[in-house]
Every structure is written in C-alpha cells, then in structure tokens.
Chains A and B, each alone.
Chain A
C-alpha cells in the first residue's frame, strides 16, 4: 500500500489531535510537542472512545474518557484510576507509519519501502472534499494511482488524494512556491464543480 495524505501540517500543530481516515480505517492523527507526527487507530482499547477526542499531554496522547495515556509507541503507560499500576504491555493502540514531509502528513497503513512521493518543491495550498472516489479521480486524470496526481493546467498543481468513505475523497493540493494561492484555490473549486458535474 502506498503513502496517503491524511492532512496538512498546518491543520495539526504540535499538541493537537484530529480525526482522519483512509477509506474504512479511522485515524487519530496527532503531533507531539516536539513536533513528531503520529497516526493511530481512532479507538481507545479501554472502552472504545475515539482517541481523536483526546488530548496531548507531554509526549503522550490521552483519551478523553478516563484519561489513559499512550506513549509514542502506542503503549498505555498510565491509568489515572490506578496511578500506582504499571499497565501491562498488552494494552496498546494499533499505530501506523506516519511522516510529515512538504507540509503534508503522510500515512502508510502497512509497512512499506516505498519512498515518500516527490513533491518537486511545491507547497501546500489547501484541502478540499470532493464527492468522487479516489480511483475515479485518478482515472479522470489518466493517472496510474491517486497518491499524488500532477495536473498541468494554468497552474503547476499536485493533488494528493485521500480516499474517504464510499464515493468521497479529500484532495490536498500543492503548488509551486511562487504560485498565486488564491488563484489556485479558485481553480480547485472549479475543478471540484467539474468533477461533481454541478454547475459552478
């Protein structure tokens, strides 16, 4: 499986956690105070609460329901109801490969040797939800896959596509550093209108 963009760096500053997903896999994506990004299964092993509702404390992610804290490896290391207890190693959250590069947060659901996509020095512009599946979007542009799709138009744009639920995806758009960001942003909205066949 390839790297998938699950969000932009600017949407997850250090100390924040957000919900995201890759198709049916729901994720809690968070950034530690020291700036390391993590993508975990969005479910606390204790009582199933979404970890994306939790809070970052030090280099740990804590669940909002009972405050269980998970270290950067996803292992539970503190249970507030039992402060003297050392939790067993078996209590851990499934974690995924997660790296921030070029302002994009990339996740791979499986171990991978695939290098991160080349961004050609482009910078992130914005994210935009689109009512079209990721494979259909790739097919529309005649691209082999949807990890990144280079689009030649008035702008030199790269689309990193995140598959969401059936028939939905999120486009994370990048453009050359000197691009007119608001022009690119308008171009993206026009693109969405075309893709969704809704009159602009």
Chain B
C-alpha cells in the first residue's frame, strides 16, 4: 500500500467495449471488471469490489481511497462536439513516459513528420508552465507550433496553439486550436492505465468539432499518431521515467516535462519512476 499511488483514479476500460467480464492489471495487480445490466463493476484479486466512476466514455477505478473526485473537463460537454473513443494501445514503457511524450511538441517534425510537424519548422518558442497549486495540476499554456496537418479537419498548414493540462499523474488533457472553429478548442486526452511500472495501456479519447470526417477517419488519424509515438516509447532507456535531474538533459522546450517531473516528485508519485537514490 502506498497512498500517494493508490489513492488516484485510473482508467481500466472503454465502456463501449465491455461485454463479457475480463481480467486486466492495475499497478501490477490483477483486477477483474464487467457489467451487470447498466452498471460496470471492478473487483480486486480477492473479489472485493473497488470504487468506480464512468466518465469520458471510460470506466475508472481506484485500488485505494481517492481523496478527491475524478477530474472533469467542462469544455467537453458543450454541444456540437463529437466524442471519439479511440480504443487502446499497449505500450512497453513506464506510464509516466507515455504521459511525458504526450506533453512534448518538439518531437512533432521528426516523429509525426508532415502531419503534426515538418522541418524546417522545428523551433519551439517560450511558453508558460505552472503548477496550479489551488487545483494541484500542471498546466502549460501559449504553446504554439506550426503544423502541416494539425487534425483530420485541417485543410493545410497552420500555426496551432496548444494548452496542456495534467490533472492526474497518468492522465493528460490537450486543448488545441480547432481548425473549423477558430476560438474554440478541440480536446484530446491521454488516459494511461499503469498495467505495471514498465507496461501501460493507453486510452486516448477526443471531444472534437469536426462535422465532415467519419468516426473511423478520426480514429485512424489518432491511431496513426499513437503508433508513431509507440515506436519511440518502447525504445527509451531506461524504461522508467528518471525523476531526478542528471540522467537526462532538458532544454527550454521541455519546460512542461520538467514541471511534470517536479510535480510527480512533490506529490510522491514514484510508480514507473526511476530515482537516483533507489
């Protein structure tokens, strides 16, 4: 038992994908989940029921006693958005590496070439990063980047503005310029289920303004992006995320990742982390 790790909500399934009961792993321990009529349930290895929340198209649970509710994304409720369950991707890396990669824009020209970025547009301008103490979340704002094809709905290259939010240690929400509706934000999330400290299941979910693309076009666009990210994530050494400075070399473009690591350390979230002292 480690309250700093157990007392969080974790995504464990896409609700639309739950049919027969099944087993999965959460923080290295076996759990089972299923649905009785309308309501979903989750049990630990001893058969004890764990708390559940159904939100953002996903089923969430906690092996501990969460001291706060699962975060909300009020903007996602506004009418006209299409809610997209992207499915899941299993990745052999620390859940924290998966979140950190999601917070990173400097890799776009090299990993998502000609989609989310392209040379020579590689420069990352200074942006604002903050740990918002009142909500205990990490936020990066005024992040701008030139993108050849920012979304399925984008007609050509645009400079996209991003905001990143880390509302829980293994979750991140991205607010992103919406090509068909200037002034609104598209919402793309990354919900990460820590299977073990070096293996995770990533559940992306989106709330987009896009009246033209089909559901399967939006899903395949996002899946392509995650496949590209996976080829990176499974080849970083070490697999765990180093929380102490020294092992890796950040630059100004990595301010979000630096704040994320600092915040994890501050709240004592060490699952999937590598500490020098260990």
Q: Which A positions have Cβ atoms within 8 angstroms of B?
A: 26, 42-43, 45-50, 53, 64-67, 79-83, 85, 91
Are A79 and B237 neighbours in the complex by a CB distance under 8 Å?
no
Are B235 and A49 neighbours in the complex by a CB distance under 8 Å?
yes
Are B122 and A65 neighbours in the complex by a CB distance under 8 Å?
no
Q: Which of A26, A49, A65, A79 has the most CB of B within 10 A?
A: A65
Query: Inside 8 A of A65's CB, which chain B residues have their CB?
Result: 107, 110-111, 232, 236
Are A64 and B123 neighbours in the complex by a CB distance under 8 Å?
no
Query: Inside 8 A of B111's CB, which chain A residues have their CB?
Result: 64-65
6 closest A-B pairs by CB: A80-B122, A81-B253, A81-B106, A81-B124, A48-B236, A50-B235
Q: Does B46 contact A (CB under 8 A)?
A: no
Are B122 and A83 neighbours in the complex by a CB distance under 8 Å?
yes
Are B236 and A47 neighbours in the complex by a CB distance under 8 Å?
yes
Cα of A81 to Cα of B111 in the assembled complex, Å: 14
A-B contact pairs, 12 of them (CB 8 A): A47-B236, A48-B242, A48-B248, A49-B235, A66-B104, A67-B109, A67-B122, A80-B110, A80-B119, A80-B123, A81-B251, A82-B251
Tell me how far the C-beta of B252 lies from the nearest C-beta in chain A, rounded to whole angstroms.
7
Q: Does B249 contact A (CB under 8 A)?
A: yes
Q: Does B238 contact A (CB under 8 A)?
A: yes
Query: Inside 8 A of A49's CB, which chain B residues have their CB?
Result: 232, 235-237
Cα of A8 to Cα of B12 in the assembled complex, Å: 47
| Tally of chain B residues near chain A (CB < 8 A) | 24
Are A47 and B248 neighbours in the complex by a CB distance under 8 Å?
yes
Cα of A109 to Cα of B216 in the assembled complex, Å: 51
Query: Inside 8 A of A26's CB, which chain B residues have their CB?
Result: 237
Known A47-B248, A49-B236, A81-B124; 8 more pairs at CB < 8 Å: A26-B237, A43-B237, A49-B235, A65-B232, A65-B236, A66-B106, A67-B110, A79-B251
Tell me how far the C-beta of A12 lies from the nearest C-beta in chain B, rounded to whole angstroms.
19
Tell me how far the C-beta of A23 lies from the nearest C-beta in chain B, rounded to whole angstroms.
16
Cα of A26 to Cα of B235 in the assembled complex, Å: 12
Which B residues from 220 to 254 make CB contacts under 8 A with A? 231-232, 235-238, 242, 247-253
Q: Which of A45, A66, A83, A91 contacts B110 (CB 8 A)?
A: A66
Tell me how far the C-beta of A86 lies from the nearest C-beta in chain B, rounded to whole angstroms.
12
Query: Inside 8 A of A50's CB, which chain B residues have their CB?
Result: 235-237
Tell me the interface secondary structure of chain A in the complex.
Answer: loop
Cα of A49 to Cα of B103 in the assembled complex, Å: 16
Tell me how far the C-beta of B143 lies from the nearest C-beta in chain A, rounded to whole angstroms.
12
Query: Inside 8 A of B242's CB, which chain A residues have their CB?
Result: 48
Cα of A85 to Cα of B231 in the assembled complex, Å: 28
With both beta carbons as reference points, the residue of chain B lying nearest to A43 in the complex is identified as B237
Cα of A80 to Cα of B225 in the assembled complex, Å: 21
Q: Which of B231, B249, B250 has the most CB of A within 10 A?
A: B249
Query: Inside 8 A of A48's CB, which chain B residues have their CB?
Result: 236-238, 242, 247-248
Cα of A48 to Cα of B101 in the assembled complex, Å: 12
**Residue-by-residue, is B246-264 near A (CB-CB < 8 Å gives 1, otherwise 0)?**
0111111100000000000
Q: Which of B123, B235, B237, B250 contacts A83 (CB 8 A)?
A: B123
Are A91 and B236 neighbours in the complex by a CB distance under 8 Å?
no
Assuming A45-B249, A46-B248, is B124 touching A64 (CB within 8 A)? no
Query: Inside 8 A of A82's CB, which chain B residues have their CB?
Result: 123-124, 251-253
Tell me how far the C-beta of B160 lies from the nearest C-beta in chain A, rounded to whole angstroms.
16
**Residue-by-residue, is B93-136 near A (CB-CB < 8 Å gives 1, otherwise 0)?**
00000000000101101110000000100111000000000000
Are B249 and A66 neighbours in the complex by a CB distance under 8 Å?
no
Cα of A197 to Cα of B235 in the assembled complex, Å: 34
Query: Inside 8 A of B250's CB, which chain A residues have their CB?
Result: 46
Q: Which of B104, B106, B231, B252 contacts A80 (CB 8 A)?
A: B106
With both beta carbons as reference points, the residue of chain B lying nearest to A92 in the complex is identified as B249
Tell me how far the C-beta of A31 lies from the nearest C-beta in chain B, rounded to whole angstroms.
21
With both beta carbons as reference points, the residue of chain B lying nearest to A49 in the complex is identified as B236
Q: Which of A42, A80, A91 contacts B249 (CB 8 A)?
A: A91
Query: Inside 8 A of B109's CB, which chain A residues have their CB?
Result: 67, 80
Cα of A167 to Cα of B236 in the assembled complex, Å: 25
Q: Which of A47, A53, A81, A82 has the most CB of B within 10 A?
A: A47
Query: Inside 8 A of B232's CB, which chain A residues have their CB?
Result: 49, 64-65
Cα of A115 to Cα of B111 in the assembled complex, Å: 42
